[in-house]
Copies of this chain bind each other. A is one copy, B any other.
Amino acid sequence: MPDTGAILLEKFDSSILKDNPLGDPSLREFPVYFPPSYDLTDKKFPVVYLLSGYTGKGIMNLNITFLSETIQQRLDRLISSGKMKEMIVVMPDCITRYGGSQFINSEATGDYEDYLIKELIPYIDNKYRTIDNSNSRAVCGKSSGGYGAVVLAMKNPNVFGLMCSTAGDMYFEYCYLPDFPKFVIDIEQYGKGAKAVADFVKNEFNFKQPKPKSFHNIINIIGMASCYSPDARGSKSKGYNFDLPFDVSTGKLDTKVFDRWLEHDPVRMIDKYISNLKKLKLIYLDAGKKDEFNLHIGARIFCDKLKKKKIKFVHEEFDDGHMNIQYRYDRTFEMISKFVKT
């Protein structure tokens, strides 16, 4: 076996994303990692879909920073050390103008779940020597990518038989709600009420720099609202195609809208998808005990519920926050390697 695999930049033009509501490109470029033996044999390999967090897309895994391995170095090292089985790793691009799709269908952003399940996976399976079977297909990711992994596997256990979430979004009362009152104040620098949101949506999703400190919080709420509470007709009436789960002026929770969010909360979704969850070969969740978005708490609640439903899972906590946690992918790939069918 040679020491190193290879990264290939794939391009795929989606029919499902054609004419998506935000005008994002249907043609996406994304990296695929092929393990060292891929070119030397005609074996088939398991596939891992590695989902990026909010504001991320697959290609950013190729970014280079000091004292960090590139994704290829990481995967090569894991494989050559025997911690990881030889697997293909696909790093899709599901980003939107608002920073992310949460990997679900939304009439405000596009049908990203369908894009992945109905187009991208078949495309990969068709083009490359994959083992086209849920027991050999895993989904994982961090932050919103962890959320995507949990939700996609929950809904599509026949596609993904293994799921790993590194600090995935869950328990929305703790990971999103505390930022609602900040949004109310932050958005005021752009004007009043819905008009301010409309102006922000129209003018601020661009390269203009410097961004105010509050920028990330504003776009995060907007990004999530576009996924969890789309309002397709909103564009005309108020200038943006989603509902916010609170009154923009007073901050008062809009429980009707927030309930729509909660329908997408993995912790709540468990009840609906128990039989699906039981089909999974691997459910692995981790989070840092200082996660700034309380996702360690979310994972605890999620796992506690799985336990009560007698669903098997692995749960780990580590002494860290929410940022710079790519190193936890090591553990993800180890776990997948343990349970994946080759």
Q: Interface of A with B (CB < 8 Å)?
A: 55-57, 59-60, 62-69, 73, 95, 99, 171, 173-174, 177-178, 180-181, 184-185, 205-207, 209-211, 247, 249-253, 289-290, 294, 296-297, 300-301, 304, 319-320, 324-327
Inter-chain contacts of A65 with B (CB < 8 A): 55, 60, 63
If over half of A's interface residues share one DSSP class (helix, strand or loop), that class is named, otherwise mixed; here it is loop
Say which residue of B55, B63, B210 sits within 8 Å of A327 (CB atoms): B210
Question: What distance in Å separates the Cβ of A234 from its nearest Cβ neighbour in chain B?
Answer: 22
Decide: B59 and A301 in contact? CB cutoff 8 A. Answer: no
Question: What distance in Å separates the Cβ of A175 from its nearest Cβ neighbour in chain B?
Answer: 9
Decide: B95 and A304 in contact? CB cutoff 8 A. Answer: no
Say which residue of B67, B207, B250 sits within 8 Å of A207 (CB atoms): B67
Q: Provide the bound-state CA to CA distance between A251 and B289, in Å.
A: 13
Contact (A66, B181) CB under 8 Å given A252-B301, A300-B251: no
Decide: B177 and A173 in contact? CB cutoff 8 A. Answer: yes
Contact (A210, B325) CB under 8 Å given A64-B60, A253-B173: yes
Say which residue of B60, B207, B324 sits within 8 Å of A210 (CB atoms): B324
Decide: A66 and B55 in contact? CB cutoff 8 A. Answer: yes
Instruction: Name 8 extra pairs, CB < 8 A, besides A178-B178, A249-B300.
Output: A55-B67, A59-B64, A60-B65, A66-B99, A67-B211, A174-B181, A184-B297, A185-B296
Decide: A304 and B205 in contact? CB cutoff 8 A. Answer: no
Q: Provide the bound-state CA to CA distance between A207 and B74, in Å.
A: 10
Who on chain B is nearest to A252 by CB?
B301
Inter-chain contacts of A60 with B (CB < 8 A): 63-65
Most interface-central of A56, A66, A68, A180 (chain B CB within 10 A): A66
Inter-chain contacts of A326 with B (CB < 8 A): 209
Who on chain B is nearest to A95 by CB?
B66
Q: Provide the bound-state CA to CA distance between A297 and B186, in Å.
A: 12
Most interface-central of A178, A252, A325 (chain B CB within 10 A): A252
Who on chain B is nearest to A66 by CB?
B55
Q: Provide the bound-state CA to CA distance between A249 and B307, in Å.
A: 14
Inter-chain contacts of A57 with B (CB < 8 A): 64
Q: Provide the bound-state CA to CA distance between A103 and B19, in Å.
A: 49
Decide: B289 and A185 in contact? CB cutoff 8 A. Answer: yes
Q: Provide the bound-state CA to CA distance between A252 and B250, in Å.
A: 27
Contact (A67, B325) CB under 8 Å given A177-B177, A252-B304: no
Q: Provide the bound-state CA to CA distance between A300 and B56, in Å.
A: 35
Question: What distance in Å separates the Cβ of A29 from its nearest Cβ neighbour in chain B?
Answer: 10
Q: Provide the bound-state CA to CA distance between A188 and B99, in Å.
A: 35
Decide: A185 and B304 in contact? CB cutoff 8 A. Answer: no
6 nearest CB pairs, A to B: A209-B327, A178-B178, A55-B66, A251-B297, A63-B63, A181-B294
Question: What distance in Å separates the Cβ of A211 from its nearest Cβ neighbour in chain B?
Answer: 8
